[in-house]
Amino acid sequence: MAWRHRYRNITIATVAVVLFLPCSAAALTAISQGFTTDDTNLPAGSVVSLELSQKNKARAASSESAPQLLGVTATQPLVELGSDAKKIQVVVSGEASVLVSDINGEIKAGDKITASPISGIGMKAVEPTQIVGTAQSDLTGAKTTSRTVTDKLGEKKNIHIGVVSLQVNVSYFSGSQSALSNIVPGFLVDVGSSIAGKEVSPLRIMFGFTFLLLGLLIAGIILQAAVRSGIISLGRNPLAHQTLRRGLLDVLLSTLGLIIVTAIVFYLILAL
């Protein structure tokens, strides 16, 4: 993509004050880990990556450092790992607010967020890359500030920078998921991710719920056929009600077993 090396870095501190990050970007339900850094003025909500030269050192992330993404800086995480006044706290799991821009397209809830050419500020991921998490809100509904960036060819572009809620989950985005994301309803993605306890791809969501629906449909058809057959048989031979009752009980147990197996396979599809 053309944006990877086209834009000069913009200091993240130039937009943080406008967006009142110290108040709005504190992680409410998040786990963070302490890292040392040379970027002492990183505001909460900054996208950060790992320094290749040092194992426990973080810096403001850019497109070039996307493969080393760590998470999002925060001021009030729910749990701190390795808390130290000399370190910045980086949210590595949970929900936090993050600085993003529309430099790579408008951001909607459900979009994957990765590092951008602007240091410390995220953007929408549209091709295979490492991501920092999934947006939980729209950028259009947030307070934004406008900035003009200049590429290496001297062309100017006006972008909007704001804060959105992010489910932090550093992972690899294949890019092929974007088309399915527009097909699979958002509530199914939320339910599937809650069941699996992690972020689940739209392909797994679609396959899993299709399998679950087919399993329940087959169980319902079997149960309906058994009840209907039992009623007809009882009408023809009222004295056989004991045998019919045992047969119906066997069908009920078999149907229950089918539902349980369907539920287990459904969970495995989402979780593995």
Domain ranges of the chain: 2-175, 204-271
Cβ atoms < 10 Å from Cβ of 65 = 20
What spatial distance separates the first Cα and last Cα of the chain, rounded to whole Å? 32
pLDDT given for residue 36 in this prediction: 85
Cβ-Cβ contacts under 8 Å for 12 (sequence gap 6 or more):
42, 43, 46, 60, 99, 118, 119, 120, 121
pLDDT tens-digit readout, 209-256: 999 999 999 999 998 888 888 888 877 877 777 877 888 888 899 999
CB atoms within 10 A of CB 131: 23
d(CA 222, CA 134): 41
Annotate 147-193 with DSSP letters as a single string: EEEEBTTS-EEEEEEEEEEEEEEEEEE-STHHHHHTTS-HHHHHHHH
| Domain made up of 2-175: CATH architecture | Beta Barrel (2.40)
Q: What span, in angstroms and rounded, lies between the C-alpha atoms of 256 and 252?
A: 6
pLDDT number for residue 153: 66
pLDDT at residue number 1: 47
The pLDDT assigned to 68 comes to 92
Q: Residues in the chain, how many?
A: 272
Q: What is the pLDDT of residue 155?
A: 75
The model's pTM is 0.60
Question: Within a 10 A sphere around the Cβ of 182, how many other Cβ atoms?
Answer: 8
pLDDT at 2: 44
* Spans of the chain below 70 pLDDT: 1-29, 75-86, 141-142, 151-154, 175-182, 186
Q: What's the mean per-residue pLDDT of the chain?
A: 79
Q: Tell me what pLDDT residue 18 has.
A: 47
